[in-house]
Amino acid sequence: MCDENWSTHWMTYEDADTDRGIVHDVCNGIRLITDTGVGDPVETVALSIAGAEAAEALAQALEGEWALYTPGQVTATASAVFSQLEGVLANLRALNTTLSRMEARRETAFTGAARERVEHAAAAVEFACGFAPAAISELQSLPQLLELPADAHELLTAVAGLLGPDAELRTFHGVGAYQEDDSGFGCGCEVLITHDGEVWSLHRGDSEWTMTRENDGKPQPDGSTTYASWIELTPTPTTSHPQHLAAEIRRALALPPQR
């Protein structure tokens, strides 16, 4: 079995997940079962399928250019993946024990060959699992050369600079007076982007980065403006990579790539 010390990295990242609580949101469905204890085969099979779907989805996610920003995020992800590998090892051997119990209860028979195959697979996984500590140690030693924005305002400022002269940062608070809005609407500042003679507003709304076209706004009697349509961008965190958000804006507006 692997040394358990390496596995604390993904646990630490989960504890520090204070931006949107996405780790807890994704895991809550599984915890509905595990917190009360798995009690029947339906729940057991459900957990196995959930794990398979998560692994498949992760493989697809990691294909994206902006899947991860920092070596620390790579380390947390690798730690979780190796932890899954250790889980696979334990599960394969538990499956063999389950087959033995089923044969003893006369619910099946002649499980020897099947259990031997599963044990061979478990041995291969155990060999691969042994590389985890050294791999995580190497990842931990990688330098982080990127400093991500600390808040929504820093991200807006950086994106405005990346988009060039056609983008203007409009600030609605004084220097040093910035405070994140707990409702998910940032500080109220925006970036105005001129494209094909039209002006678009990039702003924070309902914990999402959103773009609206100024000409689509409908003034209301109370002085506010409403929009019937808007563009929701990825990524959503306030500490996202500025180049990632800028790339999504360019894609949404079909702007040429940054040079």
Task: Point out which residues pair with 2 in neighbouring strands.
Answer: none
The reported pLDDT for the residue numbered 1 is 43
pLDDT tens column, 10-47: 777 655 554 557 888 888 999 999 999 998 999 999 99
Q: Is 19 helix (H, G, I), strand (E, B) or coil?
A: coil
Q: Are 166 and 159 in contact (CB under 8 A)?
A: no
Closest CA to 30 of 45, 56, 50: 50
Do 243 and 237 form a contact (C-beta atoms < 8 A)?
Answer: no
User: What backbone torsions phi and psi does residue 255 show, to the nearest 5 degrees?
Assistant: -80, 155
**Confidence (pLDDT) at 186:** 79
Among the ranges given (165-179, 191-205, 206-220), the one the predictor scored with the smallest mean pLDDT:
165-179
Tokens of 147: 């400093």
Portion of the chain with pLDDT greater than 90, in percent: 71
Q: What is the pLDDT of residues 170-190, one digit of tens each?
A: 998 777 666 665 567 778 899
Q: Give 255's DSSP letter.
A: P
Tokens of 52: 């398979």
β-strand partners of 168: 192
Two tokens, residue 82: 């190796």
Q: Of 113-117, 167-171, 221-225, where does mean pLDDT reach its minimum?
A: 221-225
Q: What global pTM score does this model have?
A: 0.85
Compute the distance between CA of residue 79 and CA of residue 82 in angstroms, rounded to an integer. Answer: 5
C-alpha–C-alpha distance, residues 46 and 61, integer Å: 22
